[in-house]
Structure 1
Amino acid sequence: MLLKPLVSIITIVYNGADTLQKTIDSIACQSYQNIEYIIVDGGSSDGTYDIIEANKKVIAKWISEPDDGLYDAMNKGIDLATGDYLWFINSGDEIYDAETLSNLFVNNDLADIYYGDTVMIDAQGEVIGERRLQPPIKLQYTDFKKGMLVSHQSILVSTKIAEKYNTKYRFSADFEWCLVALKKAHSVVNTHLVLSRFLDGGLTKQNIVPGLKERFDIMRRYFGLGSTILHHIPIAFRFFKYVIVYKRF
């Protein structure tokens, strides 16, 4: 029996004493055994260090030091990773259930990218609902003309094609990172699984306007100004319709 791929699961945290343990628990309970769990802490001053210390049996590598923002910390995680795949599950987010990774790698024909669905949760871990944007049946980089159709927490990227995050962008570098990975990928697999539970109200949502400006700039660079403007008409329509219907975004 062939050894299943090593998955480097990376958690970025800063002052996450209220959220980190649930994230760690979702990794620790996985029935899938070939995991390299990495925590990158931005030099927390609450109780985050104590939580890391208490869970060292689960954690393969960790660092705690100041960083230059979220994506600089993510790049540190990539530098530490030795796995076949990268999966970012940040503090407050969770892998969907204990069988998620085992159900993902059901054969030995390994893809460049695996992706799936996401459910949104609140601070108490209660499900709010599905993510506003849903992944298509077949995902390719040009689909990102319609926005980020797959959550960053629900995509696993082979280290063979993964690049560093562009730290020029403070709030939307994950959009470009996923887009570039999809553009380089030869094989992309829709797992048809819910892969993650995403904590609502993260950095991007707290900085929605500058984040949208960055995303527009990324789309302009990859798809051209005219195409980006044209595609933002239905994007804006769907956004406001969703807000009116569900009272959230």
Structure 2
Amino acid sequence: MALNCRGVNCARRFSEINPIQKDAMFSIITPVLNGMPYLPQAVRSVAEASEGVVVQHIIMDGGSTDGTLRWLEDNQDYGYEIVSGKDSSQSEALIKGFERAHGRYLAWLNADDLLEPDALAKVHRAFSTSDAWVAVSGAALVINGENEIIGSTKALPNGELSSLLGHLQNIPQPSTFFRRDIYNLVAGINLNLNYAMDVDLWLQLAKHGPIHVMKNEILSRVRIHDGAKTVNNQDATAREDLMVRLKHGMSLTSKNSLHLSKRGFIYPCLRPFQKLAKRALAKTPLKHNGK
């Protein structure tokens, strides 16, 4: 039987089985729209990482029609909360999700990414060593649609604002956890951003203190596949990333600014001419010496 509910009614129906975790140490938001076949793996990874810590897992469904809601109804023993209803974007889903969060530390895990089993325990230990850190971040493995490891993220030197602005590599979003009290001090997720809302949030947080970067601790797995939003919109992602960093103080003449400008503006403009050149070369017969 498919789940037939929307919005608050849907959340109430699930909460009868899985009460809201108001004493949670972590609140993890999973925005999803048609998350099959990867969503079950993401949910299980949160459950496995929850051993020893109280976790509030909120799944914000944007009105899935691919079996996502059916699977969520059949697997409520994982202890998540579910809110299902139309939203304008992933950013809106995150905003609404964080409004429901009760945990001391916040994060979000996309429906196609995974947490490592010991991630939350490591993050909890890290936060307990210093009150100065506004967020804790680690490394991430990169996997494909078949769960094969195809790469890893490069660690930033540190989590200072200058490093976040100047480094070509962003800190991996699913490996980054931040304090709710600091999140409540900043503007939060920007509803107008579609790709670089994580970068924007890290830069907001870093203005209130350092982000602790655990360079050698793998906390998550980021999935790259044909359906991934940033994979299919790399030009727009680079443009938005550039605009966000400039807003937060990155110099227009910096190496990072020039790199993002090439990816977001120059290369897309050159691409049609490159295609025309290839077609022209393909139609031109090769000339051989002496003939």
Aligned length: 230
Are 1:219 and 2:245 counterparts?
Answer: yes
Instruction: Answer yes or no: is 1:29 the counterpart of 2:48.
Output: yes
Which TM-score applies when normalising by structure 1? 0.84
Is 1:84 the counterpart of 2:107? The answer is no
Using the alignment, how far apart are the partners of 1:45 and 1:104 within structure 2? 35
For 1:1-249, list aligned pairs within 5 A: 6-30=25-49, 31-96=51-116, 98-106=117-125, 108-109=128-129, 110=131, 111-131=133-153, 134-143=154-163, 144-162=165-183, 163-185=187-209, 187-191=210-214, 192-201=216-225, 202-223=228-249, 227-232=251-256, 235=259
Compute the displacement of 1:228 (Å): 2.8
Residue type at the aligned position of 1:219 = R
Name the structure, 1 or 2, with higher relative contact order (CA <8 Å, separation 6+).
Answer: 1
1:233 offset after TM fit, Å? 6.5
For 1:37-67, what per-residue CA distance to the aligned partner results, in whole angstroms no more than 9, with x for missing partners? 1100111011000121122222342101111
Stretches of structure 1 that go unaligned for 5 or more consecutive residues are 240-249
Shift of 1:73: 0.9
Distance 1:233 1:168, change over 3 A: closer
TM-score, structure 2 normalization: 0.72
Larger of the two Rg values belongs to structure: 2
Could you tell me how far apart the structure 2 residues matched to 1:216 and 1:234 are? 9
Encode CA deviations 1:130-178: one digit per residue, 9 max, x unaligned.
13xx222421122223244301111101011114211222221221111
Please say if residues 24 and 102 of structure 2, whose CA atoms lie closer than 8 Å, have aligned partners that are also in contact. no
- Percent of aligned pairs with the same amino acid: 22
What is the CA deviation profile of residues 193-212 of structure 1, one whole-angstrom value per residue up to 9, with x for unaligned ones? Answer: 11110011421221111121
Distance in 2 of aligned mates of 1:206 and 1:71: 18
